[in-house]
Chain A
């Protein structure tokens, strides 16, 4: 079993090591240049953005989850769904919709300067606060979904007792409901933090100079790949810090102990000030979902009118197909490898096993292009050895692309898979073995069926990120594979917003599928965190 872990860890780590080995010979010259120019600003900006968005998403996600989990009001069933769907709108898409609408040259800015005069003050939209707002609205559903599941599992007995004893809903919320959801909120927030840390598309739109953005300034501006990857090493350190912090915080987590069959809390009818909260939730849906999607629809209509509904590589069908192929294979690979890692880690249970399992998830802490380059370097080296059959190359093959995406997103599958596997009690396992089942039998006949739900969560999480993924796909894709994000990029990098409309709209629709699946799994089935 350690072999499975070892092999996976090697596959994930080799591309990272291939790049980060340059850390041993730091580019002192570039570092000192950066330190005296942009680096201090980048560190501050990154910290402010990551902390701001994470806290914002945690608060917003938790509050919205509590609103729909513990209250009754007209339209609640619909709102539960709509509040999850902003996850289907990539931040780099909602980002350019926001810019186009709220920038001084956009309709809102023009209206304002028309009303208040040409010289009146207008906020700079290309700035950190707006980037933080857009990212928060795009990422809060990660917290919302998990918090929703946690509140749903809150035992009614505990809640009622707390309410009666404390005499206030707010105090009961703080003292019972919130602690019960704590682990879930933290898990969701970690995902948000890592997404923000490694984001390169959205921050660039808003002129926000983060460390991840700096990696590309150095890589392409200074044409210094070594120095760029050293800077990326800084991101990896930050990611490890976030994951360690999670482990510490989660260790103190108090779980609701209602068990499977405990009664759920009874949602209360909303009245008075509560209506304001519902209004707030509706506003979130309008701003985070209806507004960007509405704008995409308008662009799409305009694109159809102009007859520009195809990219250089082909129409919607070609790109949709490419996206399905890349996403499908990556999900399959991530889930299979995730299960293998989880089972191996469980079987071994040692410190070393845990460390190896942790190592397989490091790819999530680096920006996509850095991973892509690492994988490219390794695959090209393999291609050059001549081990492969003549005419077969890994670089520029679907296998190479999927491998890069697995390295990047495996982390998303491992944690739900660990829970899926962990759900099976040791006693079940022992019983199965006592009855003569070997390790394979235990996995196949006992653990897997019980764990399907965890695997669905793993698959949906991976699908959600892969379907929106751009940088690795752009760099590694084979001829004839052009995903929807590639088309969105081709159009938007040339400021052809209208032409970016159709692929962006289809992309949102496609990403809504794993989002809906996630929500369904969160509100219906047994609980799986990530």
Chain B
């Protein structure tokens, strides 16, 4: 390569830097415009509701539907449940969130414990959302339900061999055939929290020890675990139920069987839910959004992700009905949130990855 020296490069570099800066400058001027654009779907007369949301798939059309129905615009920012909770906590009285919408009961209850959520007394919500899946003081309400359940290979596991519960996954016959989500996943943490709530710490430890003894393959994605079962990397795995119908809808039928745990106390269920923040600038709009999501918006909110509606008067999608009835672990969802740290310690001690 010929080496060209001199000030030419310097000049071009300057131009590049200046250009970049100019673009940024112009962009900043339009920054407020961007915000208006994302909230501009309403009629402009109502104060928008701001949502910090830990669930990000297919949520925009749902909010648009709400705006169409009520005239209240929605602005939202996505993120991780725990980080958004931390942001609300740190923002304190100045929080920009009117609604905290999380995909995990543990984080909702932790937010409530920290006083970040306002207690909402709403006949609409108490009527729509079962007592088991809302906070005792009305600080948060479930909007959809999801089951952590067992899938098996339809090719390599006989119908009669299908594990009947979480404990059965520790049976030595699954050694080297089991796929599980690592302990960093909120799904694993909440499952083990509910085991502790049901069986006490020692009982839960025995279950986890059984899993670890089977030398599971740890895969940090429910979707990838389905693929792993199809591909023969494992024969049994634990996933959130909605990933299977979603995969089937995208890729067609696959030789994977979904079964609900039947051993008492039944299926571990977690929720997506929401609460009005304690320092909401628009608490009235926030309450209306949550009420709408729990009633008229239930279908759209739950269906887009193949989840069960929290509102029992709204039937689930046909694909979910086809999985058959199930018995749900009766421990209230709010009970296992505070057990999360204990569950993580237990997992650490058990040598669960």
Interface residues of A (CB under 8 A from B): 33-34, 36-38, 76-77, 80, 99, 103-106, 109-110, 113, 118, 124, 126, 152, 204-205, 207, 209, 213, 216-217, 219-225, 260, 264, 311-314, 318, 321-322, 324-325, 327-329, 331-332, 335, 369, 373, 376-377, 380, 383-384, 393, 395-396, 398, 452-453, 455-456, 459, 463, 474-482, 486, 490, 494-496, 517, 520-521, 523-526
Contact = CB atoms under 8 A, between A and B. Distances in A.
A396 to B, nearest CB: 5
Interface of B: 1, 3-5, 9-14, 16-17, 20-21, 23-25, 27-28, 31, 34-35, 37-39, 50, 56-60, 75-80, 82-83, 86-87, 90-94, 96, 110, 182-184, 186, 189, 217-224, 227-228, 230-233, 243, 340-341, 344-345, 348-349, 353
Contact of B218 (A207, A393, A517): A207
A333 B345 CA distance: 42
Contact of A474 (B79, B96, B227): B79
Given A369-B83, A475-B79, A480-B37, A217 B184 contact: yes
A377 B58 CA distance: 32
Given A331-B20, A480-B35, A104 B233 contact: yes
Contact of A80 (B1, B39, B80): B1
Contacts of A113: 231-232
Q: Is the interface of A mostly helix, strand, loop or mixed?
A: helix
A315 to B, nearest CB: 12
Nearest to B219: A126
A324 B75 CA distance: 21
Max chain B Cβ within 10 angstroms of own Cβ: one of A480, A520, A526: A480
Nearest to B347: A221
Contacts of B79: 474-475
Contacts of A475: 79, 83, 86-87
Contact of A373 (B86, B182, B232, B340): B86
Contact of A76 (B1, B11, B83, B91): B1
Given A380-B92, A456-B16, A495-B222, A221 B37 contact: no
Given A105-B227, A495-B221, A312 B78 contact: yes
Contact of A384 (B13, B94, B183): B94
Given A207-B220, A453-B9, 12 more contacts: A103-B233, A124-B217, A264-B3, A312-B76, A324-B24, A331-B24, A452-B14, A455-B17, A478-B77, A479-B35, A480-B38, A523-B1
A314 B78 CA distance: 12
Contacts of B1: 76-77, 80, 523
B10 A452 contact: yes
Given A105-B228, A312-B56, A395 B91 contact: yes
Dominant SS at the B interface? Answer: helix
A37 B348 contact: yes
B118 to A, nearest CB: 19
A335 B189 CA distance: 43
A480 B17 contact: no
Contacts, number: 219
Contact of A328 (B24, B93, B222): B24
B231 to A, nearest CB: 4
Contacts of B82: 219-220, 223
B91 A380 contact: yes
A60 B230 CA distance: 38
Contacts of B91: 380, 383, 395-396
B232 A524 contact: no
B17 A207 contact: no
Given A105-B230, A221-B340, A221-B341, A474 B56 contact: no
A396 B35 CA distance: 12
Contacts of A318: 34
Contact of B17 (A106, A373, A456, A486): A456
A104 B229 CA distance: 11
B34 A321 contact: yes
A221 B339 CA distance: 11
B86 A225 contact: yes
A153 B38 CA distance: 52
Given A105-B227, A459-B20, A481 B184 contact: no
A474 B53 CA distance: 12
A490 B345 CA distance: 28
5 contacts: A204-B184, A216-B184, A327-B20, A396-B91, A475-B79
Contacts of A384: 92-94
